[in-house]
Amino acid sequence: MGRQEKPIAATEPALGRLAALLREQREEAGLTYRQLADRTNYHPTTLQRATSGRTMPNWEVVEALTRACDGDLKKARRKWTQANYWAHVPRPSGAQRRAPRRFNPEQVDSLADLRRAMHEMRRKADWPSLEELDRRARAGGGRLPSSTLALVLRGEAPLRKAVFLTYMEVCGVKEARRALWAAAWERTNNARTPAPVNSRTYQREFTRAMQSSSSGTSTDILFKLWVTLRNSLAADRADRADRADRAEDAGHPGHSAGTGRDGTGDNPPVLV
């Protein structure tokens, strides 16, 4: 008879329920971890860790263990999905986590709501990794760089429309639903995103100041406007060159996306 297992030490109830199910399957099958390792090709330590409740196991490990024990795959999948969701939901210190809710795109009025909806879309897709999302996007001719996507999901980078549309597609959101979310993105950005300040804006201000200089505009203000205009023009040139390089890398030399009201254009670069 083997040693008695340590009690399940799960910090999340859903993870504890998953660990309890895996232990129950192993006990009903009457198999040791070494015997399971022979059947699953996973190391006994990996299998023990999956049933400890201390860490979130990969689905492949849970599936292999369940099959080896002739367990209920649907039940195991349901328990794993619940545990995996709670393992990824961000929570402020001391705050109580809330169950997932269905987001209505017609009621979204903030970028924070869009990001929360993105987390929910990913949950429904069984939480693919950011690298997996990028792989799916590339297979469809798009891009979702994992580093960029991580910043977007944390609210540390702007959510470009092209990124949002590609993200929904690789998460398996239905086309009709994607159209509603695209309208929500348009509504949210049009309501909250001001027209971009670029070199044209500064050029108009500089021309206006020059025309009114005889009526009292100081040379200090004119100089500051000139410096700002010069820097803005240089930034615009660098941005156009960068977009041209990205288009060339993507196999479309000479093509650069036009810039729309939100600064993304009809065919914006995916990188943000």
Instruction: Say yes or no: 207 and 259 in one domain.
Output: yes
Q: How many angstroms separate the CA atoms of 270 and 272, rounded?
A: 6
Q: What is the mean pLDDT of residues 201-227?
A: 59
Shared domain for 185 and 203, answered yes or no, is no
Question: What's the CATH number where 33 sits?
Answer: 1.10.260.40
Tens of pLDDT, residue by residue over 116-130, are: 888 888 878 877 888
Same-domain check for residues 127 and 168: yes
Report pLDDT for 113: 84
Amino acid 264: pLDDT: 36
Quick check: is 97 in a domain? no
Is 70 exceeded by the pLDDT of residue 105? Answer: yes
* pLDDT above 70: residue 61: yes
Residues 181 and 222 in one domain: no
Domain assignment present for 203: yes
Buried b (16+ CB within 10 A) or exposed e, 114-131: bebbbbbbbbeeebeebe
Residue 100 resides in a domain = no
The pLDDT value given to residue 171: 92
Residues 6+ apart with CB under 8 A from 63: 73, 76, 77
pLDDT over 90 (residue 65): yes
pTM here is: 0.45
Q: Which of 159, 192, 225 is the last residue of a domain?
A: 192
Per the structure, how many domains does the chain have? 3
Residue 194 CB contacts under 8 Å (≥ 6 apart), including other chains: none
Under the banding of pLDDT at 50, 70 and 90, the label for residue 200 is: low
CB 50 within 8 A of CB 57: yes
Residue 34 belongs to some domain of the structure:
yes
